[in-house]
Amino acid sequence: MSKIVIKNFNLYYGNFHALKDVNIYIEENRITAMIGPSGCGKSTLLRSINRINDIIEGVKTAGEINIDGANIYDRNIDVDFLRRSVGMVFQRPNPFPISIYENVAFGLRVNRITSNKNIINETVEKSLKAVLLWDDIKDKLRKSALTLTLEQQQRLCIARLIAVAPRIILLDEPCSSLDPVATRKIEELMMQLKKDYTIVIVTHNMQQAARVSQDTAFMLLGKLIEFNKTDKIFTNPSEKETDDYVSGRFG
């Protein structure tokens, strides 16, 4: 079942045509990777899925991005609700300079989802368990989130998203600041989370895309060159540009 359907989607930064007639069907409870050289549009496309690009002056869009059958660019869409439903984790962990507990509880409070202390406590515990962090920090919840390792901080940022019950998780180079051991742990976490969430990841690391994703989109100069099962993209791509990129002949 297609969770996200992108139809003839275009995006402009002023006069610059950044995304050109992109069409992708992203399946539910799978990990979809977006790969391509720097400046190809993959992060712009990722940020279009929860409309974070809206905050950039001069951005214009055309076409559709449908989530569960609703075009998120319709005028009647509640963008705040959209961004709770489609959470995003960035390249470098960005925990708030408050306690671990309050980081996870933050979305519940600021979005007025609940003020019930028992529900907040249960949600914090459940969210931290979901990212396999609870056992390590359950006795340190009142400590600053900034005392955690980078890998733990990234897990905490994912827990913060999970607390507000998203449908989709967007990951923009989530391992770029992590060492290989921490990277592997985050990849293992992604593979566990896809049972409950639809995940889209942007990565420059083609080995990472091959390890964690089921589907891969290759982008170049704002165009979607090829979208297919990950195994096919990396072993038998249909387009010469894709073959050149994954084989290291350019990019």
CA distance 34 to 212: 12
Contact 163, 131 (CB under 8 A): no
Segment 100-114 mean pLDDT: 87
Segment 124-128 mean pLDDT: 95
- Rounded to 5 degrees, φ, ψ at 62 are -145, 155
CA distance 176 to 208: 11
Number of domains in the chain: 1
CA distance 7 to 63: 6
User: What are the structure tokens assigned to 1, written together?
Assistant: 């079942």
Contact 48, 65 (CB under 8 A): yes
Q: What confidence score (pLDDT) does residue 1 get? A: 65
List the CATH number of the domain containing 160. 3.40.50.300
The answer to whether residue 251 is domain-embedded is no
Is the pLDDT at 101 greater than 70, yes or no? yes
User: What are the structure tokens assigned to 230, written together?
Assistant: 């990950």
Q: What confidence score (pLDDT) does residue 251 get? A: 54
Is the pLDDT at 250 greater than 90, yes or no? no
Segment 72-83 mean pLDDT: 93
CA distance 59 to 53: 7
The answer to whether residue 53 is domain-embedded is yes
Segment 75-81 mean pLDDT: 92
The answer to whether residue 242 is domain-embedded is yes
The pLDDT confidence band at residue 77, using thresholds 50, 70 and 90, is very high
Q: What confidence score (pLDDT) does residue 174 get? A: 87
Is the pLDDT at 176 greater than 60, yes or no? yes
pLDDT tens digits for range 197-218: 999 999 999 999 999 999 999 9
Give the gyration radius of the chain's Cα atoms: 18
Which residues are bridge partners to 16 per DSSP?
13
The answer to whether residue 141 is domain-embedded is yes
Q: Considering only CA atoms, which of 194, 196, 156, 162 is closest in space to residue 174?
A: 156
Is the pLDDT at 90 greater than 90, yes or no? no
The answer to whether residue 101 is domain-embedded is yes
Domain span at residue 215 reads: 2-246
* Percent of the chain residues past pLDDT 90, beyond the cut: 80
CA distance 60 to 125: 40
Q: Give me the chain's average pLDDT, please.
A: 93
pLDDT tens digits for range 147-172: 999 999 999 999 999 999 899 999 99
Q: What confidence score (pLDDT) does residue 112 get? A: 78
The answer to whether residue 62 is domain-embedded is yes
